[in-house]
Amino acid sequence: MRTKEKLILFAANANKRKGACLLSRTEGDSFVLQEEVSIAISPFLFVKELNPIAGMQEGVKMEPASDSNLSVPLRRTERPLQLGLFRNSEEEKTIVETKDTIPLHWKKVTEREWNDWRWQLRHRITTLDQLREIIQLTPEEIEGIKHSKGRLALAVTPYFVSLMDPVNPNCPIRRQAIPRVEELHLSKSDMVDPCGEDKDSPVPGLVHRYPDRVLLLITDQCAVYCRYCTRRRLVGSTERSITEGNFEEVLKYLKKNRKVRDVLLSGGDPLLLENERLEEILSRLRAIPHIELLRIGTRVPVSLPQRITPGLVKMLKKYHPLMMSIHFTHPKEITDAVKRACNDLADGGIPLGSQTVLLKGINDKAPIMKKLLHELLKIRVRPYYIYQCDLATGTEHFRTSVAAGIQIIEKLRGHTTGYAIPTFVVDAPGGGGKIPVEPNYLVSREKGKMVLRNYEGKVYEYPEPNIIEFKKARASGEEKVGTKKVMAQP
């Protein structure tokens, strides 16, 4: 057999990023698929120093480039990949590829599959038997899973399950995603629609509570169903996106209401829509002249970071100003994959903010919350809101006191950078909207002064301007100026 020659097949468009298939040619002009790579195509590109992938057979049909395989980082034994233009050795660069570890339970899964967001969605863990193979479940969890149907379904991506401690039921990732028997308990404070969204919905899928902004629910599907979800009455019921008919009704409403300048896309999770469908929604909203700002509320960068592909980011960039609020809960969620996803979004010019629900036994201690907020800043996500847990049905075991949230803010303010301090809010039950709740730094308000305290508990007085004396002085000054003008006339 002759020495193998390395070839690359690629799409003709040199200005776009495409998937390229690396082949080796052997005797008889048969080809063996060696590896798929994602590179910036040039008609003069050549590749050398690449190894064949073991186990691949001749005649393997190559899959065309798609949004999913473009996003897959190569993960194999570290070897240099040298790319050059015009065979100029001085311009050749060495690229060291990183390798992430696929959990043992999925050892038969290829690295390309693991990094494909569609594969992750198709292989979500949704049954008790599946979960038993991965995690040592407690009786409370087993009972909760058995009764989850008809309430809020169990569905967790393999990626998110891989972050769970398989033996510790108090693992913060595990507690968020695995049903427990406590969900069967109904508190007298529980509400089916705790934020009163249904009563503020003028057309299906749209919530209009505040004067200049609306909430648009475009899907009921999530990658992972959080057990404390405030919309558990809706999510997971059909796992479908908004119908064309309902979306047309939304557009008609928005065009008539010219005060609306801000649209927040939520669900479910908007980023689970295919790029084409999501772009259709964004483009038609952007075409309304008085819509100034588009926002996306999502948990996908945390529970399914593989979804943040170059194709998605490229599409989103076309609809600036566009902002994104990402649901983070615990520092353990910030993995290398999540860091890459957030950095890619930030590099696309998308301002990122975090929304965190305060959860008992998960993130209700100041050191844990501070760690989360610091880690968020490091990946260019600005802490935005901490929410008091809503009164959704079956979530009382997640709720802390409001005082616990105030205490966390007390231990943040003055003790860390202001950029790391979110606003703590209570979404008023029944539809009152977000109400900020902060420590009381105003000690008293007296005539002519304000008495304040700082983060150390020290008290200071701030003199208020004397409005009456100020008005008298200004009036007196105007009279003197008027007299001088009269005397100056000939």
Catalytic residue numbers read 209-210, 213, 222, 226, 229, 231, 390, 427, 434
> Could you tell me which residues come within 8 angstroms of residue 174 by beta carbon, excluding any fewer than 6 positions away?
135, 164, 165, 168
Task: Give the DSSP H or E segment for 323.
Answer: strand 322-327
Task: Please state, in angstroms and rounded to a whole number, the distance separating the CA atoms of residues 68 and 308.
Answer: 9
Strands 262-266 and 293-298: parallel
Q: Are 229 and 261 in contact (CB under 8 A)?
A: no
Indicate left, alpha or beta for 247 from its phi (over 0: left) and psi (-120 to 50: alpha).
alpha
- What phi, psi does 335 have (nearest 5°)? -95, 175
Task: Please state, in angstroms and rounded to a whole number, the distance separating the CA atoms of residues 343 and 481.
Answer: 61
94 three-state secondary structure: strand
Task: Please state, in angstroms and rounded to a whole number, the distance separating the CA atoms of residues 5 and 23.
Answer: 9
Helices 402-412 + 366-378 axis angle, to 10: 60
- What phi, psi does 147 have (nearest 5°)? -105, 10
Task: Please state, in angstroms and rounded to a whole number, the distance separating the CA atoms of residues 28 and 294.
Answer: 57
Helices 275-286 + 244-256 axis angle, to 10: 20
The 3-state secondary structure of 184-198, one letter per residue: HCCCCCCECCCCCCH
Q: Which two tokens stand for residue 162?
A: 């891989």
Task: Please state, in angstroms and rounded to a whole number, the distance separating the CA atoms of residues 306 and 309.
Answer: 7
Question: Distance of CA 223 to CAs 91, 119, 172, 271, 334, Å?
Answer: 43, 12, 17, 9, 17
Query: One-letter amino acid identity for 51?
Result: N
Asked if the peptide bond before residue 383 counts as cis, ω within 30 degrees of 0, the response is no
